[in-house]
Copies of this chain bind each other. A is one copy, B any other.
Amino acid sequence: MEKNGLEEELNKINKEPYKGVRDFYPEDMFVQNYIFDVMRKIVESFGYTEYSASILEPTSLYKAKSGQEIVNEQTYTFTDRGGREVTLRPEMTPTLARMVAKRKRDLVFPLRWYSIPNMFRYERPQKGRLREHWQLNVDIFGVKSIDADVEIISLAYILMKKFGAKDNDFEIRVNSRKILNSIFRNFLNLDEEEVKNLMKLIDRKEKIGKDDFEAELSIILGEKSDAFIKILKIKNILDFSSVLPKELVESEGVKDIQILINKLRDMGIKNVIFSPGLVRGFDYYTSTVFEIYDTNPNNNRAMFGGGRYDDLLDIFGEDKIPAIGFGMGDVTIRDFLETHKLLPNHKAKVCLYICTLTDEYISHANKIAIKLRENDLNVEVDLTSKKVSDQLSLANKKGIPFVVCVGENEVKTGKYKIKNMDTGEEKEIKFDQISNFISSIKTL
């Protein structure tokens, strides 16, 4: 029986990836690897060492401290075949805290750890927000002093600079949960429920627009609404004294942020500003919070950020360890690099392509390729059985800089004509000089 068209269509398997995740073809992987390489190089230059963990975590890990919305509505959570509730991690910090808590007694503090894990959130895919993304996580455990905050924020700054960003392309906004708490509790006199609502509202500020924001604000704050709007506009922490009572202005939170900003400026980091409306989503932050904000008028938004979470080990029944860190997502940073034309051009990793006059020389090509690879040369052997001109054009398409062709003559004499694909020049050299010849031109 012949199948009809529809039936055949139904029997074909879809070629699309799952919704909201990405396939990485070699050209995408090149970009991804470039981003990861810069991340690794910079964080390792600060002494951070890599750790990792599985994407699958027991769901219970997220029940304590992540933002409520994330756990209840945005995770991939399911029951495994053995009845265990598991979650695809939506963020790395709970995993990190779990690992630190587990080996607390054996680890040498302070810890400087980093990881570049993938993570999942169930949400409607949109620009800059996919269901799966990768995120550099950099954290320091065991330093209570503001010097850890200085190091973490300066690391984020250096990272942006190494990606090619200029100081006026971005701005570092800092705030402290301690400052927010004293404003909420002691100045605005809010209860827990009101604080939650206000935090959520502030987080949505840029999405909903000025008018809606102020309308909703006055519902929560009543007559104190105007005073709070004044606070949100402050960019210099010294201006606090004009709007807040003296005991708040002189609180620990304010002092710490002042010291932090001064230390960063002293290191030459000038694009750091105080931002009293900065909240950050996670419940576990305890004092400093910060974010790197894109100043491009077409893309005005927070790119990434982090903060201090000194109490998180609590949830495992362990003594607290001071900790601060940040997460930088691959999707956001790629958008930024593309917008600012900061991505490098793709370059072939293979430097020599070996063509063969006929199939029977492939064995010889393989043998010389193996020897050249031992000298750290990346060498590809043509296996297409096509004519030499087609083999050459294949090498050209792949952007490989040198080609050598193997035939009777080469096998007999041990001499090879190397063609420089950029200049078209050919040079005949002995086999044992090929590596040196190519290396010398590559490093020119």
Q: Which residues of A contact B (CB under 8 A)?
A: 8-9, 11-19, 21-26, 29, 32-33, 44-47, 49-58, 60-61, 63-64, 76, 78-82, 84, 86, 88, 98-99, 101-103, 108, 110, 112-113, 118, 120, 122, 131-132, 140, 142-143, 145, 147-148, 150-151, 154, 158, 263, 266-268, 315-317, 349-350, 353, 359, 362-363, 366-367, 369-370, 373, 376-381, 383-385, 394, 397-398
Contacts and interface: CB of A to CB of B under 8 A. Distances in A.
Given A13-B98, A32-B52, A267 B366 contact: yes
10 contacts: A13-B315, A15-B316, A24-B52, A25-B51, A26-B113, A45-B373, A45-B377, A46-B373, A56-B76, A82-B122
A93 B43 CA distance: 34
B15 A47 contact: no
B380 A46 contact: yes
Contacts of A19: 82, 84
A147 B359 contact: yes
Given A316-B12, A366-B267, A18 B49 contact: no
Given A47-B378, A81-B122, 9 more contacts: A18-B56, A32-B52, A46-B380, A47-B349, A82-B122, A108-B398, A143-B384, A147-B383, A150-B366
B381 A23 contact: no
Contacts of A47: 349-350, 353, 378-381
Contacts of A317: 8-9, 11-12
Contacts of A367: 267
Contacts of A63: 13
Nearest to A87: B18
Contacts of A16: 58, 102
A32 B79 CA distance: 29
Contacts of A263: 363
A315 B370 contact: no
Interface of A, secondary structure class, is mixed
Given A47-B350, A380-B46, A394-B108, A54 B363 contact: no
A129 to B, nearest CB: 15
A151 B49 contact: no
Given A13-B63, A108-B394, A18 B120 contact: no
Contact of A378 (B8, B45, B147, B363): B45
Nearest to A32: B52
Contacts of A33: 50
A395 to B, nearest CB: 10
A381 B132 contact: no
Nearest to A59: B18
Contacts of A58: 14, 16, 18
B78 A50 contact: no
B12 A158 contact: no
A138 to B, nearest CB: 13
Contacts of A29: 49-52
Nearest to A60: B13
B151 A383 contact: yes
Contacts of A397: 108
Contacts of A370: 154, 158, 267-268
Contacts of A385: 145
A21 B54 contact: yes
B17 A110 contact: no
B53 A17 contact: yes
Contacts of A142: 384
A315 B145 contact: no
A24 B117 CA distance: 12
A385 B145 CA distance: 9
A10 to B, nearest CB: 10
B102 A151 contact: no
